[in-house]
Amino acid sequence: MSTPVLVAVAHGSRNPAAQANIRALLDAVRAARPGLDVREAYIELASPLLPEVLADVPGEVAVVPLLLGNGYHIAHDVAGAAAFHRPGAGVAPALGPDDLLVDALADRLAEAEYCPVCPPPTNPVVLAVAGSSDPRSHADADAVAAVLAARLGREVVAAYNSSTTPSVVETVAALRAAGHHRVSAATYLLSPGRFATEIKACGADLVSDPLGVHPALVELVLRRYDAARASSRSLQRSTVAG
């Protein structure tokens, strides 16, 4: 069988820096697995859109959402488009929750909090999530917050920039009202853009950068691709056997 094309689909943004980050991430994926055909796609607000890519790419495909939580976009926009344009194609779940994402989050937070003459930080951390009204996304964010808390040995509270509560700004304020003099925020976003800019202004003492291009994220994308490819071929064998 031929090697399926990796179709990586991000949400999309009008901010050119967000698309530049996705392209840099996919370049790192290509470098990590030479010869793999990797295509860029978006759900909205940027091009090329996922249906266009699925219609144009020849041969087998395996779709990897560059989304941090499961929910409506995965179930409808990604899986729905794949089912319509490429029935039987493998579609990976969201990137999170996963320990590799926590690796990247912890590294970005350590970069933001770096102080060579300070003791290790013990203050609480707000996991600043983009936001979704889908309970599946909330559960994923809570799971990531729990693993990050265990990794850091600190309190980590998930909060949202939009679409639901508690908000990042309100959560930072509530932690201060509870007596915490310092609060950090771990930005749980892939790319720069409007949400990242708003999270930077949330009132925390230190705010980490978006995950960007990180070795753990590159490894995670390839793991999701391999799983989606295996799922597609297993379905093909079952169809032939039936």
Given a contact cutoff of 8 angstroms between Cβ atoms, the answer to whether 199 and 161 are in contact is yes
Question: Residues 137, 89: one domain?
Answer: no
Per-residue pLDDT tens digits for 2-47: 799 999 999 999 999 999 999 999 999 999 999 999 999 999 999 9
pTM of model > 0.85: yes
If you average pLDDT over every residue of the chain, what do you get?
93
Residue 189 contacts by C-beta under 8 Å, 6 or more apart in sequence?
68, 128, 130, 195, 196, 199, 210, 211
Which tokens is 146 given?
């729990």
Mean of pLDDT values over 164-179: 96
Neighbouring C-alpha atoms within 13 Å toward the C-beta of 185: 32
Cα→Cα distances 80→90, 164, 200, Å: 12, 24, 34
Residues 39 and 68 in one domain: yes
Domain holding 233, by residue range, is 5-95+214-241
Whether 45 and 65 share a structural domain: yes
Backbone angles phi, psi at 67, to 5 degrees: -125, 145
Are 148 and 185 part of one and the same domain? yes
* Residues in Cβ contact with 201 at an 8 Å cutoff, skipping those fewer than 6 apart: none
Kindly tell me if the per-residue pLDDT of 232 is higher than 90.
no
CA 176, 178, 184, 188 torsion-angle sign = negative
Count the domains in the chain. Answer: 2
Residue 72 has a pLDDT of 80
Residue 26 CB neighbour total at 10 angstroms: 20
Provide the CATH number for the domain around residue 28: 3.40.50.1400
Per the structure block, which two tokens stand in for 127?
Answer: 């996991």
Residues forming beta bridges with residue 9, ordered by sequence position: 41, 65
